[in-house]
Amino acid sequence: MEAPRGHVQTTHPSLPDQMLVKVRHHLAQLSRVMSGTDATRLLIGLLYLSRATRPALAPGVPTWSWLLSQPTGRGPEIRAAVTKCLVHHLPAIEDPFAEASAVSLVPVPPPGSEGPLHALVQAIGSTQQVGPLLDQCLRDLSSAQADGSNYFTPADMARLMVGAAVPHDGHRVLDPVCGSGGLLVESHHYVRERVGLNPTMSLRGRELHAPTSQVARINLSVRGIEADIPPPGDSLAHPEPEPYDIVLANPSLNQRDWTPEEGTRRHGGRTGPPVPPDPRWPEEAPPRSSADAAWIQHIVHALAPGGRAVFLMADRVAASRQAMPKRLRERLLRGDLMECVIALPLRVYGHSQAPACLWVVNKDKTARPGWGALDRRGQVLFINARRAFEQVPRSRARRLGDKNTALILSTLAAWRGLPANGAAATPYSDAAGWSRSCSAKEIADREYSLMPTSYAAEPPGPEQDTRNRIDELKLELAEQFDQMHALELRLLDALDEI
């Protein structure tokens, strides 16, 4: 219930909220003697120790119960006990890019951490719900890693992506850049809510970075979700060997210098020999100056005949007038693969400032059970959700929020002719400034632009005209940067040959 206007509603915090405050206090104390990232990863490891199911252990093997029984003290015993448990029980991850023993995936608590470390162990042991603690840890870790573009998909964005993909029980689901595994977790929850049982779907996540791959395995294991997380590796290096019903991906926006060959240098401007023949790009290889085209074709190639994919892409890929992106969009339209493009608000999908869209690709847009009652072949839905955000309380950050997420999904469901919550499907109609269904011919006449703000434009006015001009200038500047970068790579290749 809402409090009356002008009054403050006083409530006692729930037990999970009290525990979250307590744990965050102890974590802050721990962060004074070690890096915040390592302290958070240490806490995630403790959550794993407290909840992950394991087979019967041999005598003498350190257990969570044994760790809980460690006495309070200022000596090194608790640090040694925590390290012993983590080393023994955390899921092992092979890092093919690191030298032997060069990288430790287990943060070692330093001297001075005994007090907060013991308090964290006891606090975790006294709570029945670790889900909120784990969610907060993943948000903290995502924020800490934002500068390296190694952020995790926010929860409301994950709900939007999974809801647009509509996974079913028994589906094979892939996330080729799984991060913490959030999209796989959301897929499992989505199906479980609808079937009322533990889903029989197959979940697979790939991740380049070894520490993040370990976090994904911990995240899934703590929640009791089975998933296949293979050793760390670059998804773009090879085609997927098996087809998938659903592919979900939130790749780094504007990633440059991608290199599929094993052992080829990734940095310093050198990009190695030409891309070898690959079934993912039968007509032309994607340029090495940008991974966007490679990601799109990799995802499409991984889809089963009736498969669907939902992934994030920078605005410039949808609207660039350069030859390569334009030809790629033309091939997608020619194959009738594009289903929907959603223009997202800024800063709601991670920590990038780049404007982005959510692309929905579908290999079968005919009317069929589970997808919708309307045949949408030869059509694409554009949703302009640029202004569909809310401010995070007491923060400058933005988020989609439940209301805007539901509005986007209900628009897409109506366009598909998909019933919502057991009720009859709502008839779809275009809404000025919000959504528009377009034919492939109209899109071709517009040079294959897939930019939703061009089709579902807001009503004209001075403010809107200014925003449109700013968007145009941003796109032109991004294209100039792309051209400069491509020329730089060509010049470096030419100098190598001298």
pLDDT tens digits along 350-376: 666 788 999 999 999 999 988 899 999
CA R_g for the chain = 24
pLDDT, tens digit (0-9, with 9 covering 90-100), for 171-218:
999 999 999 999 999 999 999 999 888 899 999 999 998 889 999 999
Dihedral sign, CA of 327, 328, 332, 338?
negative
- Integer CA distances (angstroms), 280 to 151, 274, 290, 293, 332, in order: 27, 15, 16, 11, 13
d(CA 190, CA 163): 8
* 8 A C-beta contact, residue 179 and residue 207: yes
pLDDT digits (tens, 9 = 90+) for 283-315: 888 887 779 999 999 999 999 999 999 999 999
Phi, psi values for residue 203, rounded to 5°: -110, 135
Q: Are strands 338-343 and 379-384 parallel, antiparallel or unpaired?
A: parallel
Give the other-Cβ count within 10 Å of 265's Cβ.
Answer: 12
pLDDT band at 423 (very low <50, low <70, confident <90, very high): low
Query: Helices 131-144 & 36-51, crossing angle to 10 degrees?
Result: 150
Domain 146-259+275-459 -> CATH class: alpha beta
**Cα-based angle 306, 403, 202 (whole degrees, multiple of 5):** 30
